[in-house]
Structure 1
Amino acid sequence: MRPAELKVELPEIPRKRYFAIGEVSELCDVKPHVLRYWEQEFPQLKPVKRRGNRRYYQQDDVLMVRRIRSLLYEQGFTIGGARLRLKEGQASAAASLRPLTAPAAANSVVDAGERSAAPRRNSEIKSLRADLESLLKLLPER
């Protein structure tokens, strides 16, 4: 069976705060025992545990399960490869935010050489803003 044949249309995620493991299992087309195994293998997947060690997944957890499912079942990654791909994704997201978190004092002194870089910096900021706005459109409204 080829990865394209495994592609399944998953149901829309309801607008709820918490989901039980059975609900996540249905929403992501993955058995509950597989979800519990993935919790051990992927540090990004950490559902809240409450009374009696019951797991409660949030929206972000459900999206992460779908991402893991896609990497493993549709794209053909191994667990180790999927773990690395998720780690790379987090590292690249953190790297793209670094210029925005630079100390203000470092930006306060502008010499003639830096003035020519200002238009480039403005275009980078516009590009980042456009990327963030497109990501916001993907998130469910609250």
Structure 2
Amino acid sequence: MIAGGSLPPIPAKRYFTIGEVGELCDVKPHVLRYWEQEFNQLNPQKRRGNRRYYQHHEVVLIRRIRELLYEEGFTINGAKLRLNESSQENSVQVQTQQRANGQHQDSIRTELEAVLKILSK
């Protein structure tokens, strides 16, 4: 579909049709429908006439799936495992960041309480 091997940038839109996603990701619509069955993270909204509308994060996910399958040579099961590993790593990073933010907030709270004590004297 796309000559040169590079994918076009994803436009700043809220929803994309299956045809648009196919062009953006260089994947045929029937492949996208199959991937929906295989990858539970991929769940486009369906509207009138069962038409699919993908959101930006789903287009990014489709590009990642395409990369795993077509460029890195993973099987469907291997790609599923890799995506699950990535999501677990991301959740650990988010939890670590939240803990760090909480500790930072605690130190700010302690400093503010010390300032209030000084000002109240």
Range into which the TM-score falls when normalised by the shorter chain: 0.7 to 0.9
What is the CA RMSD across the aligned residues, in angstroms? 2.1
- Normalised to the residue count of structure 2, the TM-score between the two structures is 0.76
Q: Which amino acid aligns with 2:80?
A: R
Deviations 1:59-113 (A, max 9, x none): 11111100000000000000000000000000001011223444x69x96xxxxx
Residue 47 (structure 2) pairs with residue 50 (structure 1): yes
Match for residue 75 of structure 2?
78
Q: Considering Cα pairs closer than 8 Å and 6+ residues apart, tell me whether 1 or 2 has the greater RCO.
A: 1
Aligned to 1:36: 33
Q: Please show how residues 1-142 of structure 1 align to structure 2 within 5 Å.
A: 8-102=5-99
**Identity percentage over the alignment?**
61
In terms of Rg, which structure is larger?
Answer: 2
Is there any run of 5+ residues in structure 2 with no aligned partner, and where? Answer: 107-121
Which ranges of 4 or more aligned residues in structure 1 deviate by more than 6 Å? none
1:19 alignment partner AA: F
Q: Using the alignment, how far apart are the partners of 1:50 and 1:22 within structure 2? A: 15
Aligned length: 102
SS in 1 for 2:12: coil
**Using the alignment, how far apart are the partners of 1:98 and 1:12 within structure 2?**
31
**What's the TM-score once normalised by structure 1's chain length?**
0.65
The Cα shift of 1:46 comes to: 1.0
Q: Structure 1: where are the runs of 5+ without partners?
A: 1-6, 109-142
